[in-house]
Structure 1
Amino acid sequence: MSSPATTADRTALVTGASSGIGAALAREIAMDQYDLVLTARREERLQNLAEELEATHGVTATVITQDLAAEKAGEELFEAVTNEGIEIHTLVNNAGVPLYGRFDETELEDERDIMEVNMVALTSLTKRFLRPMVKRGEGRILNTASMAALYPIPKKAVYSGTKSYVLSFSRALGHELDGSGVTVTAVCPGVVETEYANRGNVEKSNTLAGVTNDPRSVAQAAWEGAKDGERIVFPSLHSKYGSQLVRLLPRSKVTELGESTVEDGASWI
């Protein structure tokens, strides 16, 4: 495990930091004396978190509000951070958008928002903040994927597809960056009880019927894994079990199992 860094040379940018796993990650990172840039749509919540982190840990927390579903959101956020004169050591791509429903019944605009946040903004931010990391030979990227990255989930078809992208992108990029001083980690939580599930009709899916993680435990595992340079973090026994099960089952059964997690509230996605 790497030793805590000092605020003199370490700042982490956390997207989706206003609640849930994002807020928990910000708290974990601040405990290691990193300064923070906190971003999400809800400014008041970000300000409250920033005040908490500064008072509790003596770090500097900068708030930048940004809707990552907006066109060119990644570019705008990068410019805002640059204009503040802040150098990002660790990029945490945590923001995400869910959606539940049959694909022929959901709205294309909602799916567009999912893809913009979960894939386009994540890729854009990684591209922009990665180059300075590689140039100085040091940095860290932590991407929030999901167990849905491993299981095609009917009625969450676009969501699970985007999370598959996050996981595949993270693994490939991590390999590209071997020896560069920059690491890439993807965390694949199972079901986590957060406000996230109150968006996109997800509460109708029974997904929370078998909650296995709380945001803090996921954040702790993710941050420790990122500091250790792990490629993939499965933050619970259920998620580790699920990651192995997908290797053993026929593809049709994997999809059926993904469907059962939606209809029956199975506990590990």
Structure 2
Amino acid sequence: MAHNPYAPGYAPPQVAHHEWRTAENSAAYLLPSLRTMAASTPHLKLLDVGAGSGTISASLAAYIPLGTVTATDISSDILTRAAEHAKKVGVTNITFQAADIYALPFEDETFDIVHASMVLSHLDDPVQAYREMLRVTKSKGGLVANRESDLRMWSYYPELPGIKQFHEILLATMKAGGGNVDAGARLVAWAMQAGARRERIEAGMGTWMYSTVEERAMWGGTIAERIRNGGMREKALEMGIATEADLEAMAQAWAEWQAAEDACHGMMHGEILIWK
């Protein structure tokens, strides 16, 4: 069965935001359990699915110095970049392997922890992805950890019309591409459909906030570039829901937001721990 492609792609503006992510700002919900498991089982095996350029993978590896991390992605090219990042930060207990989340190339019960961040929201069959993640997780004490955006839940200031229009177009193009704008709220449902028992699931919500000069430059700047050059732009024009002028106005609105000293932007994410 053919599945939808990864719509955002790996263009530099998209990757720039991915490389802002770390275990601390994107997997804090997992870290207490990771520390506890590492204390009792130092040689943990962790799988990071859809690792992209590997900044989360490498920072997770630092928490299990005697363990190993296997980072996978469908793109071999982005894994090359991930390997370069790991080398740059001095992480050696990590390997990289191209893999399809729908058919992970590992035996049953291979890993102590399986982690994915901002992956299932882009999939047309997240339940099958959970089945695979659960399959390769050890049955006794194993853990699946996942964090996904709920793209409906944005809070920002100043409330510029161009940002409001961008948000509406982002939701529309995400749906049209086969993704899930409400993924953060559906993690428990997907996990249960994949066979997880409700009493073995811990669910919560986390946030990202962009407000400092550096955060605004990273977020506002990368979005403006994505509007001018990314896959969302092409999809919006193809669907006829935005014109070239509309898109340029959106990019300029993000530049205005980035320049405002009192600007902020918050996003909500669903977080789930599934214990086997």
* TM-score, length basis structure 1: 0.50
Gap regions ≥5 residues in structure 1:
67-72, 97-116, 231-269
1:130 and 2:154 matched: no
Q: CA deviation at 1:89?
A: 1.3
Corresponding residue of 2:23: none
Q: Which residue pairs with 1:75 in the alignment?
A: 102
Aligned counterparts of 1:11 and 1:155: Cα–Cα separation in 2? 36
Residue 158 (1) aligns with residue 191 (2)? no
* Distance change (3 Å), C-alpha of 1:184 and 1:160: farther
Q: Is the 8 A contact 1:145 1:186 kept in 2?
A: no
Using a 3 Å threshold, how does the CA distance of structure 1 residues 61 and 195 change in structure 2: closer, same or farther? farther
Deviations 1:189-225 (A, max 9, x none): 4666386762324575337444658xxxx9xxx9xx8
Match of 1:27 in 2: 58
Q: In the aligned structure 2, how far is the partner of 1:189 from the partner of 1:60?
A: 26
Residue 53 of structure 1 aligns with which residue?
86
2:72 matched residue in structure 1: 39
Q: Once the 2 structures are TM-superposed, how far is the Cα of residue 95 of structure 1 from its aligned partner?
A: 3.5
Decide whether the 8 Å contact of 1:15 with 1:95 is kept in 2. Answer: yes
Aligned CA distance change for structure 1 residues 119 and 88 (closer, same or farther; 3 Å): farther
CA RMSD in angstroms comes to: 4.4
Judge conservation of contact 2:111–2:138 (CA < 8 Å) in 1.
no
Distance 2:123 2:152 in 1: 13
State the identity %. 9
Does residue 149 (structure 1) correspond to residue 164 (structure 2)? The answer is: no
Paired letter, 1:149: R
Q: C-alpha separation between the residues in 1 aligned to 2:182 and 2:123?
A: 7
Q: Kindly tell me: are residues 88 and 134 of structure 1, through their superposed partners in 2, closer, same or farther at Cα, counting changes over 3 Å?
A: closer
Superposition map of 1:98-109 within 5 A: none
Q: Cα distance 1:174–1:41, how it changes in 2: closer, same or farther (>3 A)?
A: closer
Equivalent residues of 2:171, 2:181 under 8 A apart: no
Alignment of 1:11 with 2:46, yes or no, is: yes
Equivalent residue of 1:74, what SS? coil
Change (3 A) 1:31 1:159: farther
Residues 209-220 of structure 1 aligned to structure 2 (within 5 Å) = 209=255, 210=257
Deviation at 1:88, TM superposition (A): 5.7
Q: Structure 1 residue 7: deviation in Å?
A: 6.1
Q: Which has the higher helix share?
A: 1
User: Which is higher, the Rg of structure 1 or of structure 2?
Assistant: 2
The 2-side partners of 1:60 and 1:118 are apart by 25
Which whole-Å CA distance do the structure 2 matches of 1:173 and 1:95 have between them?
13
Q: Tell me the distance in 2 between the aligned counterparts of 1:118 and 1:183.
A: 22
Aligned residues: 185
TM-score by length of 2: 0.49
Secondary structure of the corresponding residue to residue 101 of structure 2:
helix
CA distance in structure 1 between the partners assigned to 2:124 and 2:149 by the alignment = 14
| Other-structure match for 2:184 | 167
